[in-house]
């Protein structure tokens, strides 16, 4: 028992043209494998269904750049002023309710001539019709806004991913925004929303009745006033909570989208960090090389003079040394002083102050004769020897200093080359990302994400405060209601009113009890089913522990040691979790609706494909759930064929030779 897509009927719709694709039950096989090459109409089938139900083709990224809905061949044959109807009809069989539901969307177009003389299709009317036929009833068709609630009941648009699942879009499956949509949708499908509305209605009636009673009874009137004030506060806090929830529903996915974008750019980000690091080091080395060149130039300039002068300096120095050796450079003797001493009769020695006798006089005379070079020249030569010696010593250091300079020069050249090579390597890698590496500003996106995170944190704080106040006020209100009721029951008479109030209070309590029981039951059922299906699908039996789902319908997976590991799941494991959760949501909705999956095993690695394919077949058979899977020939690999051969309905779609329509419909 369950709900099945019996067929999809097309009229002039895209490449399907006019025809019918049947999925009616054959030999109790509940699983359909539609195999089509990319571009043949696999995704267009999903688009046809969502267009029929929601008037949107979700798998078309940019509608402005897409072809019109009209089949190309039909459009080409059409003349100006022709009217063309495009429609998609979806026949659903509800075995539980014993009825057939036909969802039909019809769009008419008028063909007009453009200024350039080309043909253009202008959309006219768009109508949506739901018709029921069954064993016991044939209802009047319902149109547009009257027809739409039935879509919500069977294929709620807010959780369309749970009916029309795209295996390639797994990352969009889990997340806060999705969990809110799931919760809202489950509440709608399970009629929790109806219970909430009914409870509110009863509260309003009771409020009016209490107000009417309070008019004549002042003691009740003051309590009533307090109750109303408390209710206002509660409504205010509820408003704050709702605002926070709405803002979070907007900001969280926005941040998630940026983070996911940043994740995609993570390699670029890492490469850009390296690029900046290498550039920094290269600039530093370039500065050092410039300074080094100046130092080396100064060094060379200084030594050019020294080296040029070296032969002369060496010759002069050697000459002085030679003369010193020969004794041709006497000690510092003042010839004039010696002459003055010899001129005086009784002169005294300027050193020892002794009298200069004849012997000394003869010695002085011999000395005078011996000195051939003047004492001034001798002094000059002796003074020159020191600086010459220093020059020679400095020149001797040239080789050593030059070696040091050359060594540093080689080191710098090597370092610069190394950094340039690294930079070139990183630039080459960045080039493989094309323009994206230039146009995507990672830093700006990170700032935006941080900014959003800080807004989100503020909202969580605000939400926490409002939640606490809300709970306190609800407690206060319960106490006030009790106080009112006690005071009311003490009033004499008013028997009818008392019965009315009691009945309304009972109804409110009973509906609340029913509602809470159903909410808990659904959550438990979803948790249990998700866990069971996930365990069946996963072939690692010693890794995963509990799969938990909280009151906000957020799914988490723990390992055997109860450590959270949702973020560490592989693509295949995420796929299994998504299938498990989807099937659990279907089950909890109370309607065993079909599931259409595009690329069902696209993200599953080769060795796991067979296992996953087998699990889906078993689930479909055991739960009598219709699964329509849209495969590419590659995806429908040998591992899948082995599992599905003769056990599933296989249908191949091919494009016609002129590529205007799909063959096989």
Partner 1 sequence: MPISTKIIDEIEKLPIKREEQELMKDLLSLEDGHGYKINKAYTDDIESYLKNHLNDEEGL
Residues interacting with partner 1, by CB under 8 A?
A: 149-150, 153, 190-191, 194-195, 197-198, 201-202, 205, 496, 499-500, 503-504, 506-507, 510-511, 513-514, 517-518, 521, 590
Kindly state the smallest distance separating residue 523's Cβ from partner 1, in Å.
Answer: 13
Q: Which residues contact 334 (CB under 8 A, 6 or more apart)?
A: 375
Q: How far apart are CA 586 and CA 580, in angstroms?
A: 10
Tokens representing residue 657 in the block: 């030779």
Kindly state the smallest distance separating residue 148's Cβ from partner 1, in Å.
Answer: 13
Q: At residue 581, what are phi and psi to the nearest 5 degrees?
A: -65, -45
H helices of 265-357, in order, are: 266-326, 335-343
Q: How far apart are CA 73 and CA 660, in angstroms?
A: 6
Kindly state the smallest distance separating residue 518's Cβ from partner 1, in Å.
Answer: 6
Kindly state the smallest distance separating residue 261's Cβ from partner 1, in Å.
Answer: 41
Nearest to 4 by CA among 662, 625, 665, 645: 625
Q: Count the alpha carbons within 13 Å of 657 in the hemisphere toward its beta carbon.
A: 0
Alpha carbon distances (Å) from 60 to 7, 87, 245: 23, 18, 29
Tokens representing residue 511 in the block: 């509906």
Q: How far apart are CA 482 and CA 479, in angstroms?
A: 5
Kindly state the smallest distance separating residue 201's Cβ from partner 1, in Å.
Answer: 6
Nearer to partner 1, 4 or 511 (CB): 511
Q: How far apart are CA 149 and CA 227, in angstroms?
A: 37
**CB 661: neighbour CB atoms within 10 A?**
21
Nearer to partner 1, 132 or 299 (CB): 132
Q: How far apart are CA 279 and CA 189, in angstroms?
A: 60
Kindly state the smallest distance separating residue 588's Cβ from partner 1, in Å.
Answer: 10
Burial class (CB in 10 A: 0-12, 13-18, 19+), 354: exposed
Nearer to partner 1, 243 or 500 (CB): 500
Q: How far apart are CA 281 and CA 123, in angstroms?
A: 62
Kindly state the smallest distance separating residue 573's Cβ from partner 1, in Å.
Answer: 32
Nearer to partner 1, 354 or 493 (CB): 493
**CB 190: neighbour CB atoms within 10 A?**
19
Kindly state the smallest distance separating residue 520's Cβ from partner 1, in Å.
Answer: 11
Nearer to partner 1, 95 or 521 (CB): 521
Kindly state the smallest distance separating residue 3's Cβ from partner 1, in Å.
Answer: 14
Nearer to partner 1, 508 or 639 (CB): 508
Nearer to partner 1, 585 or 604 (CB): 585
Nearer to partner 1, 446 or 500 (CB): 500
Angle at 121 between CA 115 and CA 125, to 5 degrees: 130
Nearer to partner 1, 195 or 619 (CB): 195
Nearest to 588 by CA among 527, 515, 536, 513: 527
Angle at 29 between CA 19 and CA 586, to 5 degrees: 90
Kindly state the smallest distance separating residue 185's Cβ from partner 1, in Å.
Answer: 14
Q: How far apart are CA 646 and CA 211, in angstroms?
A: 70
For β-strands 662-663 and 649-655, DSSP reports them as antiparallel
Tokens representing residue 260 in the block: 């996911």
Nearer to partner 1, 263 or 499 (CB): 499
The answer to whether residues 182 and 159 touch, using CB atoms and an 8 Å cutoff, is yes
Q: At residue 33, what are phi and psi to the nearest 5 degrees?
A: -110, 115
Kindly state the smallest distance separating residue 182's Cβ from partner 1, in Å.
Answer: 17
Bridge partner list, 584: none
Kindly state the smallest distance separating residue 500's Cβ from partner 1, in Å.
Answer: 6
The answer to whether residues 663 and 653 touch, using CB atoms and an 8 Å cutoff, is yes
DSSP 3-state of 373: coil
Nearer to partner 1, 434 or 493 (CB): 493
Nearer to partner 1, 183 or 603 (CB): 183
Kindly state the smallest distance separating residue 254's Cβ from partner 1, in Å.
Answer: 35
Nearer to partner 1, 137 or 552 (CB): 137
Q: At residue 640, what are phi and psi to the nearest 5 degrees?
A: -75, -45
């Amino acid at each position: 028992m369950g709900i099945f897509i019996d067929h999809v009927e097309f009229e002039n719709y895209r490449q399907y043209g006019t025809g019918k694709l049947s999925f009616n039950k054959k030999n109790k096989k509940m699983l359909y494998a539609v195999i089509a090459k990319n571009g043949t109409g696999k995704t267009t089938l999903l688009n046809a269904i969502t267009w029929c139900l929601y008037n949107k083709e979700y798998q078309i990224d940019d509608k402005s750049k897409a072809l019109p809905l009209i089949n190309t061949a039909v459009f080409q044959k059409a003349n100006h002023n022709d009217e063309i109807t495009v429609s998609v009809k979806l026949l659903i069989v509800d075995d539980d309710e014993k009825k057939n539901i036909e969802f039909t969307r019809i769009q008419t177009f008028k063909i007009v001539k453009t200024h350039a003389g080309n043909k253009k299709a202008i959309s006219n009317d768009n109508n949506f019709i739901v018709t029921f036929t069954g064993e016991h009833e044939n209802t009047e068709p319902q149109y547009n806004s009257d027809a739409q609630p039935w879509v919500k009941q069977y294929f709620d648009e807010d959780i369309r991913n749970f009916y029309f699942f795209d295996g390639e879009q797994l990352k969009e499956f889990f997340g806060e925004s999705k969990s809110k949509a799931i919760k809202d949708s489950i509440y709608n499908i399970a009629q929790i929303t109806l219970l909430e509305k009914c409870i509110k209605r009863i509260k309003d009636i009771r409020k009016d009745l209490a107000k009417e009673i309070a008019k004549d009874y002042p003691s009740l009137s003051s309590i009533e006033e307090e109750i109303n004030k408390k209710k206002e506060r509660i409504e205010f806090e509820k408003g704050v909570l709702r605002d926070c929830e709405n803002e979070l529903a907007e900001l969280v996915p926005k941040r998630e989208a940026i983070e996911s974008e940043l994740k995609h750019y993570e390699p670029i980000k890492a490469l850009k960090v390296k690029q900046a690091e290498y550039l920094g080091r290269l600039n530093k080395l370039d500065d050092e090389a410039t300074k080094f060149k100046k130092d080396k130039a100064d060094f060379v300039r200084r030594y050019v003079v020294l080296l040029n002068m070296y032969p002369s300096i060496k010759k002069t120095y050697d000459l002085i040394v030679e003369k010193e050796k020969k004794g041709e450079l006497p000690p510092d003797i003042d010839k004039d002083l010696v002459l003055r001493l010899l001129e005086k009769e009784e002169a005294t020695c300027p050193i020892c102050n002794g009298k200069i006798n004849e012997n000394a006089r003869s010695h002085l005379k011999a000395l005078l004769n011996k000195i051939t070079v003047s004492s001034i020249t001798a002094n000059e030569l002796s003074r020159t020897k020191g600086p010459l010696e220093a020059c020679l010593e400095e020149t001797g250091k040239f080789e050593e200093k030059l070696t040091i300079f050359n060594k540093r020069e080689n080191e710098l050249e090597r370092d610069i080359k190394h950094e340039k090579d690294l930079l070139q390597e990183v630039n080459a890698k960045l080039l493989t990302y094309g323009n994206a590496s230039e146009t995507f500003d990672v830093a700006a996106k990170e700032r935006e994400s941080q900014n959003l995170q800080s807004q989100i944190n503020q909202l969580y704080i605000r939400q926490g405060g409002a939640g606490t106040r809300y709970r306190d006020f609800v407690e206060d209100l319960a106490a006030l209601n009790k106080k009112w009721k006690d005071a009311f029951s003490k009033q004499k008479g008013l028997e009818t009113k008392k019965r009315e109030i009691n009945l309304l209070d009972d109804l409110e309590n009973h509906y609340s009890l029913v509602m809470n029981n159903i909410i808990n039951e659904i959550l438990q059922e979803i948790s249990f089913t998700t866990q069971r299906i996930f365990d069946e699908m996963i072939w690692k039996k010693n890794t995963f522990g509990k799969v938990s789902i909280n009151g906000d319908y957020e799914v988490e997976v723990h390992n055997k040691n109860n450590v959270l590991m949702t973020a560490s799941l592989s693509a295949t494991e995420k796929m299994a979790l998504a299938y498990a959760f989807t099937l659990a949501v279907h089950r909890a909705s109370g309607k065993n609706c079909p599931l259409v999956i595009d690329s069902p095993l696209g993200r599953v690695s080769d060795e796991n494909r067979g296992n996953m394919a087998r699990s889906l077949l078993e689930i479909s058979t055991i739960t009598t759930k219709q699964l329509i899977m849209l495969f590419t020939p590659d995806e429908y690999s040998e591992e899948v064929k082995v599992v599905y051969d003769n056990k599933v309905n296989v249908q191949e779609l091919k494009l016609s030779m002129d590529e205007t329509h799909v063959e096989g419909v």
